[in-house]
A and B are shown apart, each in its own frame.
Chain A
Amino acid sequence: DQQVKQNSPSLSVQEGRISILNCDYTNSMFDYFLWYKKYPAEGPTFLISISSIKDKNEDGRFTVFLNKSAKHLSLHIVPSQPGDSAVYFCAASAYYGGATNKLIFGTGTLLAIQP
């Protein structure tokens, strides 16, 4: 039972263009969402988060959008840079409503930025 789904295993984007990574979830109890980035042989690194009371959060080149009715979130990276090439994981938790610190991760999307 995959509660957090990233349906695109990979994505290729030209340098300077926008990268859009998508994530869907099924559990309506989730109220906190995060994106992590992972390079080979390293641990995931936190990028950006959003709580369910917001529909958008922005940090520099990274913006996360949350559509609660569709149970969908997306990460926009603009402009895309070669260093953005990595695997991106979406994660979700019922932090506030469920009083848990447990994160459920998606399977990841490999983003390749082409020069």
Chain B
Amino acid sequence: QVQLQESGPGLVKPSETLSLTCTVSGASISSYYWNWIRQPPGKGLEWIGYIYNSGSTKYNPSLKSRVTISIDTSKNQFSLKLSSVTAADTAVYYCATLTTSLSFDIWGPGTMVTVS
């Protein structure tokens, strides 16, 4: 059974880089597509990007210039870096994967990141 857990600082200063890690258990990080999705307080979901095949990536065009998603196969983890953050990047950040077709069927519990 695949499980995901996000971790990282809950508070980031404006203009700095937000860094989060998602630890995967129950599956090899070399399988599937690994995603980051966020949700600002009181607002809807926004897809950030995914990594697959241990290195290929796709990003939301609106965030592409600031986002990097990477994989650490030795730790079975994948990570998100979002640079030059502003208050608009304050959100709950979820990691999620696609094990059933092209749908997000496994989600982490989410982690709140505040930019202030």
* A, B from the same assembly: no
Interface residues of A (CB under 8 A from B): none
